[in-house]
Copies of this chain bind each other. A is one copy, B any other.
Amino acid sequence: MAPKVMTPALLDQLAERFKALGEPARLQLLSALRQREQTVSQLVQSTGLGQANVSKHLQLLCSAGFIARRRAGIFAFYTLADDGVFALCDLMCGRIERSHREQRAALKLAR
């Protein structure tokens, strides 16, 4: 995977998915769904975001393949499509931590 030379189409798909994760509100939704499957109202409640806003973000995450929708009567339950998303977040968090460490080290040296 991630062949050395990537076609424009692959670049677009990659970018589309990274962009889907490039929004705090959506990461918050994913993080909330990590606990358990939830309805839209529950997510509105637990995130403090507006209903229409949550609905839109969920559509986007859905079409990017990160979450799935299940209809039950009046409710729409959203759930993680798989928890591979968090492997991505783990990697990225690792980068963040490392850069923080390096910043601190640089400050020490400069002192």
Contacts and interface: CB of A to CB of B under 8 A. Distances in A.
Q: Taking the full assembly, how many copies of this chain does it contain?
A: 2
A92 B1 CA distance: 9
A76 interface: no
Nearest to A86: B2
For this complex, into which size category does the number of interface residues on chain A fall?
35 or more
Interface in A39-95: 65, 84, 86-95
B15 A22 contact: yes
A91 B17 CA distance: 11
B93 A84 contact: no
16 contacts: A1-B97, A4-B34, A4-B35, A5-B31, A6-B27, A11-B27, A11-B31, A13-B96, A14-B92, A14-B96, A15-B22, A15-B27, A18-B22, A19-B19, A84-B94, A87-B91
